[in-house]
Amino acid sequence: MSNILIIKHGSLGDIAQACGAIQDISENHKEDQIHLLTTKPYFELFKKNPFIHNVILDKRLSRFNLIYLYQLTRTLKNFNFKKVYDLQNSSRTTFYKNILFPKSKFDIWSSSETTLPTSIPKKEFDKNPVLDRFDHQLKTSGLNTFNTLKPDFSWACTNIDNVKNKYDLKEYIVLFPFCSVHLHIKKWPYYNQLIELIKNKYNDKYKIVVAPGPSEINETKSINGISILDDEKILNISQLSSLIKGSSFVVANDTGPAHMAAHLNVKGITLFGKHTTARKVSIERENFKAIQVDDLNKLSVEKVFERISNVLI
């Protein structure tokens, strides 16, 4: 039995996307111990993943913090990893490779760089859909991939009966009208108008709910929906997964919860402006689709509502 390391630091949407690849790595190494290196926001979450035996915390302190760097590399070296699957594919993880396995190729350190096709520059390769890139990386590393292109994030769910009972949630639509402050281009501005159309058609059949993140609680006051909290605290990732999983429909900007919804196989849509494409981020699934426009400010409420009403007959 050998030790295998997977690296996945974040972000939330990336975690949901990578869970199929993580499953495939585990199932190709059934006789080995699977360890995962991640950051604090996802440390406890990954402990629930059935395909991981051990989670290692990376505080991601400065590379010039030599004491921390020494401690981390010593911890990793003590495991004597037979192989590393770098699913983060960042400059930081390349830095780790140069310390731990400086001359290794994909037989030891599997990354987008070590498995890059010889016929295409990395800049061009990175334009491919993210799940296709994972699939290429793992196949080039000699793995069979049955789950990489169809991630299942349902392992992250937990029981939230207490939350559902508090808000009397039976049939409900979840909206994610938020985005990072510095990514305002991702934000569609007409959620309240959409709520009005939904209520006019369906009356009280569906409750309209929002689940704010740490910096979004005040912003929910401007949305005409029910803000879902747990004892005045935001839902953790597992609780949020369950809220999404139990919903009738999800409408979201291009954020982490949208990717969670896609890989929880729920019905819904995500709204894309020109910042990227739904194809590149591999967000469209069987039940979860995207509306892509050049300018989200010009995406009409009627068009979004039509997509919803075509599903919620």
* Residue 39 pLDDT: 98
Single-letter code of the amino acid located at 141: S
* Residue 179 pLDDT: 82
Mean pLDDT for the chain overall: 95
* Residue 299 pLDDT: 97
Domains 3-152 and 162-311 share a fold: yes
Tens-place pLDDT, residues 6-56: 999 999 999 999 999 999 999 999 999 999 999 999 999 999 999 999 999
* Residue 72 pLDDT: 96
**Which is more confidently placed, 266 or 215?**
266
**Token duo for residue 148:** 């990489």
- Of all residues in the chain, what percent carry a pLDDT higher than 90? 91
When pLDDT is averaged across residues 87-105 and rounded to a whole number, the result is 95
Tens-place pLDDT, residues 253-288: 999 999 999 999 999 999 999 989 999 999 999 999
* Residue 273 pLDDT: 93
* Residue 184 pLDDT: 77
- CATH architecture classification, 3-152: 3-Layer(aba) Sandwich (3.40)
Q: What is the pTM of this model?
A: 0.94
CATH, range 162-311 = 3.40.50.2000
Tens-place pLDDT, residues 193-213: 999 999 999 999 999 999 999
* Residue 31 pLDDT: 97
Confidence of residue 185 (pLDDT cuts 50, 70, 90): confident
Domain layout of the chain by residue ranges: 3-152, 162-311
When pLDDT is averaged across residues 227-248 and rounded to a whole number, the result is 97
When pLDDT is averaged across residues 49-67 and rounded to a whole number, the result is 96
**Token duo for residue 17:** 């996307």
Tens-place pLDDT, residues 133-160: 999 999 999 999 999 999 999 999 999 9
* Residue 313 pLDDT: 73
* Residue 137 pLDDT: 98
When pLDDT is averaged across residues 161-184 and rounded to a whole number, the result is 91
* Residue 159 pLDDT: 98
C-alpha distances out from residue 15 to 141, 235, 305, Å: 21, 17, 29
